[in-house]
Structure 1
Amino acid sequence: MANRVRTIEYGNRKEILKFNDFISTVVTVSDEGVQAADGKKIVKAGTIIGGLTKPVLLNPGEFVEDKNTAEKATGAEGVLLYDVDVTNGSREGAMVIWGFIDLAKIPTEPVAEINLPQITFMK
C-alpha cells in the first residue's frame, strides 16, 4: 500500500466571536453538498448548522449541515466556530451553542427564519 502524504497549512484562524465568552460542542461536519473551490471543500466559520436528519444536540453522532435557508432554518442549532475542511470526507468541528457572533465576520447573514435564542448576532 502506498504511503499518503497530507499537507497541513498552519496560520491564523478566522475569528467570528464578538466576545470570548461562548459555549461550544464537538460536531461532525458533513461533506455532502459542499461545493469545491480551488480544489478544496471548506465549510466556512460562521455557517449556521444543525443536524442533517435529526437534532445533533440530542443525537451526538449525527452529521451537521448548513441550515441557513428558509426551508431548513427550523433545524438550526448553532454556528460553526472555525472553518472545516471536508475535502477528504466528513470532519470534526466546533458548534457554538451559546455566545455572541460578529455579523461582519460570517459568510452570510442569518435568514429571518433562524431562531437561535442563546446566540446573539451583533454588528
Structure 2
Amino acid sequence: MKFIQTEYGNGAEILMFKDHYVSLSAVMDDTGITAGANGKKIVPKGTLVGGASASVFADRSQKLRVSADSGGSLSGPAVIDGLLLEDVDVTYGPKTCALLIHGFVKTDALPAAPTAAQKAAFAPDVQISFIEH
C-alpha cells in the first residue's frame, strides 16, 4: 500500500478570537486550482472565496459552492462570500469546507492581505473584521 503524506499550510491560526465566529458549510470547487510541487491542490485557509448565488446564500437549504484561484484570491464573481476557515485539499475534486462569514481575522495570518476593493466586495451577510496582529 502506498502512503502519501499531505502537508498543509503552516498552521497559523487566522481567527483572533476562537470563541467568536460563524462559519457555514460550503463546497470548494477545484476549477482553476493548480497543483503544487507535491502534486496536491491545496487551497490555504484564509483564502477569499466567492461564487455562491444570492438565492442559495439566502436560502441556506443547499450547500454553497464557492471558488478561488491558487493565488489565494477571488476568481469569477465580484462578490466575496467569506474566507476558508481551514486548508482544503481539492486534488481529487470539489470538497466540503468551512466558510467563515463572521469573526475577527488576523491579517498577517492570511495567504494574501485583502485589498480595500476586496473588503468592499463582501456579500451583505459577511461581517469579518481584519485585525493587524
Structure 2 match to 1:65: 67
Percent identity, aligned pairs only, is 33
Contact 1:14 1:83 in 2 (8 A): no
With the length of structure 1 as denominator, give the TM-score of the two structures. 0.79
Cα displacement (A) at 1:30: 0.3
CA RMSD of superposed structures (Å): 2.8
* Distance (Å, rounded) in 1 between the aligned partners of 2:30 and 2:68: 11
Note closer, same or farther for the CA distance 1:99–1:47 as it changes in structure 2 (3 Å cut). same
* Distance (Å, rounded) in 2 between the aligned partners of 1:94 and 1:69: 16
Long gaps (5+) in structure 2: none
- Point out the structure with the larger helix share: 2
* Distance (Å, rounded) in 2 between the aligned partners of 1:63 and 1:7: 28
Contact 1:14 1:82 in 2 (8 A): no
Note closer, same or farther for the CA distance 1:83–1:112 as it changes in structure 2 (3 Å cut). same
Between the two proteins, the alignment pairs up a number of residues equal to 118
Alignment counterpart, residue 82 of structure 2, candidates 78, 84, 103:
78
